[in-house]
Structure 1
Amino acid sequence: MFGIEKVDLTFSIDPLLLILAILLFGLFTLFVYRFTVPVINTKLKALLISLRFIALLLLLFVIFEPMLTLTKKIIINPVNFIFIDNSRSILIDDGTNREQTVNDFASELGKEINTNEFEAYTLGKEVTQPGSEEIENLTFTEGSTNFSNIFSSVGDQDKNISSIVIISDGVITEGSNPVFTAEKLSIPVFTIGVGDTSRRNDIEIRNVLYNEYIYAETPTTIQTTISNTGFADRDINVSIYEENVLLEQKKITLSREGIQNIEFEYKPASGGEKKLTVVASGLDGEFTDANNKKVFYINVLGNKINILLLGGSPSPDISFIKESLQKDENFRVNSLTQFAPGKFLEKVNPQTLLDSADIFFLIGFPSNETTGEFYNKVKNKIANQSKAFFLSLSSGIDFKKLNELQKELAININIKSAFYREVQPIIESNQVKNPLLQNNSQNPIAVWENLPPVFQPDIQFTNKPESELISRTKMNNIPSKTPLIVSRKLGNKRSIAVLAKDIWKWKLQTATKNLDLFDRFINSSVKWLNTSEDQKQVNIKTSKKIYSLGEEVEFIGQVYDATFNPVSDAEVKVSVINKGEKSEIILNSVGNGLYEGTFQTNKAGDYSFSGEAKSDNLKLGTDAGSFNIGEVDIEMVNPRMNFEFLKSLADRTGGEYFDQNNFAGLFPLLKRINESASKEKMLTSEINLWSTEWLMAVIILLFAIEWFIRKRAGML
């Protein structure tokens, strides 16, 4: 009845004692009312005995704490999740009628499968759930395709998902490859490929390699990879532009191998953010010229950076990090390594080095040997002068002293024990493009996740809200939630923390394979740390620099008062300008001094913006920047269907790949899966029969009625 499978009544004390107590209370009640003064009739005596016994019985219930447990079984019906590519690449005219195929699938979906057995979503920059009419009238206007969002959204569902179906050309234009994440869900993925897998006659700028942070008046190499199909031995011009001004042009002959690298030397005259564009001239007969251009932005830094390494004690970490830093001629590297209280291995003036440092590397610092006087000077530089720092928990670090820097750290520290555990990095899926992680491997993230173990202290680390988690740890290939690499940017303050010791092992392993992972990580960390916001109270940025046509531009703002406390009630206005046309948007507060807003337009080009924050009509500060919309339509860059990705995704998750001409075979397969995919779920509810206030009220009422009747009868 009511779906109840099982009913249990339990007590906190042995039920045999309850039975014994009931018998004793029953005998006691009979004994009390065996003889009464004055004598009362039998009916009244029976009533008084009943009142007393019931009250004592309920009192026993309170003492023995009875618990009623009800177990109910419910059936969770299976549901198929359908994801339909709604990006602009579906409109590519390659002779396969992509748009018609997707629309045919959407129309057949509701006819072949019961509507309560599937949920349909559209795929683009985000995953959205439109109405049934919208599904059958897709617009294909999304400016990017992010497959990672499919599996992050599925992982958050509390439903019996029997399968995932994706109909797409398989071209990822945003986010990372989700195959590994999809495998962990243990849900079969069925893919339907739309588009042409053959290679058309085309010229493409495949990739541009560059350093995101470089220095003014210092030459750097920008390497461009150009591929061609069907144009071997033909001549084209490849040009590089800075802010739409031609810097250099090279005439090249397209290789017969189909791929070649072209190098440009770039020497910026001044600091600041620079927009660069590499353009390959087109040839007659190209399938598309949308992929003949690459736009990117480079941050040009000013003078050389003074770096001071502070070592709590001599360690291999200090030696390896110092060696990596000294390879860059744009760094001035000094070190102070403690070996006794107030004493350093280096015979230099510590105060001079402290005063001249732009960035600190705290390597196992502070330690037991660190004097309070010297440590206070370092803390003052970081806390009050906003010096950026890199932290490594190398040997000898004193965590109690480190906690004195708690306000400036990227993480909160809760000391548990003095033990260490072996851990390896596992990179967050949203960090695969982070410049700190890039190296010369074909798969930079895979190299990171196969580094040798380092030692992490048995300490509870938790991210601060303003920090960015770059890498978590894994132990014996089992991922954990413990952070390993964290960066923090708050106002004009920046820091990076590697929460482990013996990171020099990363250098040894990668060096034997000619990988620059360790050196690039250390050097990129310096460049990132050196781009602090110069005491700006108002920071306004876009989520990225290059947007597709029609894609929302996301603005993120941070507002602080004169003492750099977050201001959450400011009015933040942003003016966006393109070719003399001006638009204004208001950023909305999301708390803790953070603001967000969006801007959308259908006009391609370079855009500049300026923002201003006010509080109580008092101007707090301004900021400005730039971004680009639609100069390169990333959805049109790769016109070839990515069969390899779609097939791999299906095979590795236990699903199946379907061609665009035979997707009808998918529907009966989904029906068979649903027939055997129902799940039972047991819901258990516990009712404390003794803890309700009504029970005590009834006990008191019963004793009160008994007392009232006894008094009315003239009994003692």
Structure 2
Amino acid sequence: MISAFIQGISPVLPHLFIILIALISLLISWWTYSGLSSISTSKKWGLISLRASALTLLVILLFNPYLVRELSEIEIPTVAVYLDNSESMSVERGEYSGINTYQNILDNFRTTKSDQFNYQYYLFDDEVYEGDELNLSGMATNIHRVMEHVRENETRYAASILFSDGIVNRGRNPLFAAQNLTKPLITVPVGDSSRVRDISIADVTHDDPVFTNSRNLITVEVQQEGFEGEESTVQLIENGELIDTRTVNYPAAASSHVIEFVRNYTEPGFYEMEVHIPPKEEEFTDRNNTFNFTLEVLDDKSNILSLAFEVHPDVASVRRLVASDQQNELIMSTYLGNNRFAGSNPLDIDQDIDLIILHGLPSAGTSVYNWLLDRSEPILYLSLPGSYRHTQNSDDELYALTNVRVERIQTLLNIHIGSISDSQTHPLLELPQIALNRLPTLQGYQGAYQVNPVAETLLTADFQSTRTNIPLLIAADTGNRRLASVNAFGWNRYERSRQDDARNLFKDLFNNLVTWTSTPPDRRTLVLEPRKSSFSENEPVEIRATLVNERGVPESNALVELQFFQAEQDERRTFRMSPEGDGVYTASIGSYPRGLYRAEATATLGNRTIGEAETRVNVSRSNLELVNTQRDDALLQQLASVTDGFFLQSLSFDDLNRFFSDNNLQETREEITTDINYLYQNGLWFFLVIILLSAEWLIRRSVSLP
């Protein structure tokens, strides 16, 4: 219903005053034309009426009147209907025939429901969304989300109806949220509450990350119902090949069991894993008897051999620093002469070595000298006072290891580290910005140095603030291994210094040397992995990356781009991963159909690529909705009870209509909407004034009045 009337005038004036204004306008108009005796009476009163009307209308508009329109609407109450769209609703068991029975219940509701309400339909699984077309594809049931949705929209609805089996496998207990509702919730039980015989793989967990040459545990949780006194075989399948089995016995009518498999890998790479339980003839369903996941096996930690040919304080300082890193396994050896060693004998070591640190050099022709020339591991050479005579006129093989020769050895100098150019970007030079000439002095010999052309001189030495030709730090990346040389000694002064800058420089420089040199040139600095071993079709795929730079330090300032695809010929989707700190990057890239996918990532820092990696992502059918398919009437009853609602166990929707009637939920509500319109905002009135004045002017012209 719509009504309109003049509510008032601003400023507010008595209606009598408005009438008085109209009379005054009429008198003024009459006085203007009363003296005209040359025109007819009808034209005279026409002129008086037109002018009086125009004056009255203008005066009224000057007082800013407004028109109030009231719209009265009868609002029918609305009921929210929530339909469980999870996969467990499709399972056929007992008298429940899956989607057919579910659809029959909904059809009965639609034909029987009261016409005194409007109905708003929602679907839910792990989320809540509008709609009423069932496909029963949801991979989880989160009724807590439904309760939160009801609470957020309580003012819109008179009541809510929940169609569900009440099986919650995601989110919090919905009873806590239901206690805060002020509108009744009607729960309609859908599904079957009878017990069935079934075996399911509830969960699989494994070590992450997985390393070579280590014990890796795979744990499988098996649940069963109805197979008391029987047994099953749990199979572990790797890359399509059966590699291990376990037998599990069922001592009770319903039980849960944990089975463990132990794997030890010698080769890194990707391994496609599957846990499978052969189904039994009387088993309810075999869709929950298989679980797929992917293992990525990585190399283990670094073995570092510290081989000293002189007794010097620098040796102990470097060894202490290397041993302080838990990622390093330090093997110490000191050559005593005549093929005797303190500590480990390097000639007898049978384990893989990731880095050899040479403190000084052996004499040519010795067994350890020949052993060293035959090695292919990365080498970090640290000069000591006696090593300079070995590099003087050294043979080509030793020259290839140290990357430096010195001829005409002269004076022993007290030197400082030379300044570092801003244009140098080598990972070894990522050092704190400090005044190098204020640090303790090092010692090195003046002489004619020759640096291997395949190597790069990163630092030189200063003597009394003058640049020398002493190549203090040399690095070489030969393709299959890395080599680094430090041509100065006295670093123990830095370790023992009272200056924080000196101690920090020693720690940072030698950590850089050890991590960069021990890192193979082809080692993956970027590690890419899915957050879970397997994703379901309806949950977002999340990828995690860890990035270290060329010397093995976490890098959080890089740009990491991710490409995701299923086959080489498929279109690739590109994402940018978000940094989380400490070299960790993440990306949530949406949900995908079932299948095995590939993810490839590239990390760039500035103008250089510092890492590339790939991983496999397994998207499979989730077993979560199939672990338990027995309707939970107790939960549905409690939800109805705490909200003063109704548990419709009879599935008779006439009972639902009576509940609505008994609680007066069908009462309508009148909603009045007020609309204010100011007359001056409508140009019609000013157009009317112009018409009145124009008509007056035409009459005046017709009687020859100016």
TM-score by length of 2: 0.49
TM-score by length of 1: 0.48
